[in-house]
Structure 1
């Protein structure tokens, strides 16, 4: 991933661990059993993905809020308004069971990617932003799909 500074790349990849772990423990009963015993039942399968996914959507709202500070006037109003959408989406849509919550998180992360692209196109993000966001979003969506579709 050339062009992405090392720290954001490493931290972004590390942030994928709960999503990947959740998918692996969903796919492997033995790993799920071990993880439940060692870490507790909320740290395996879809449970870790759903809780962590809601946290990350909220975190990304804060990131977009920060990008919004680079603009003014009506554009700033629009950007601040758009920046809170991922957190509100997570708050209002992650109930109703693991399949519904996982589906809604997938929609939320896809929508976040659209917001990332919009803020990037307005020059509010670093130039490398979309390279990183495409990579991370693809992995998150694939991992959430395990719990939703399998």
Structure 2
């Protein structure tokens, strides 16, 4: 397994904070009430995970677009087309309520992992990309599961 460089690892783990916080506030209602009263309802429970999840899927579209730019011809066209799927998924599949939006984000992050794998298979992502993406996706999906089912 290729070691993940320190900066992407630290930034990736920091990017999990809204998901983890959202999951914790689902499991601890008193903390959720404190959060709502202190910084607002958008930062508690499933809502922080849903909003941030849509943002991150869109961000990941940009990452994949960057990978696609490293190639040419039909592979580039395919890469660009695939790269917009996570952002479009977030746009069209969230907003129908916390349960359906949460489930759709779970499917969106699972689908993103497939796209990550494909770009990695094409040699467009760094060698450490998949270990990082597997770790981050596992935590994101676990947090979203808590938001949907608890």
The normalised TM-score by structure 1 is 0.98
Q: How many residue pairs align between the two structures?
A: 150
State the match for 1:65 in structure 2.
Answer: 65
State the match for 1:92 in structure 2.
Answer: 92
State the match for 1:125 in structure 2.
Answer: 125
Q: Is the 8 A contact 2:61 2:84 kept in 1?
A: yes
Compute the displacement of 1:2 (Å): 6.4
State the match for 2:76 in structure 1.
Answer: 76
1:14-71 Cα distance to aligned partner (Å, 9 max, x none): 0000000000001111110111111101100000000000000000000000000111
SS at match of 2:3: coil
1:74-113 Cα distance to aligned partner (Å, 9 max, x none): 0000000000000000000001100000000000000000
State the match for 1:3 in structure 2.
Answer: 3
SS at match of 2:105: helix
| Regions of 4+ moved over 4 Å | none
State the match for 1:141 in structure 2.
Answer: 141
SS at match of 1:124: coil
State the match for 1:55 in structure 2.
Answer: 55
Give the superposed CA RMSD: 1.0
The normalised TM-score by structure 2 is 0.98
SS at match of 2:78: helix
SS at match of 1:126: coil
Q: Which has the larger displacement, 1-10 or 43-52?
A: 1-10
Uncovered stretches (5+) of structure 1, i.e. residues with no partner: none
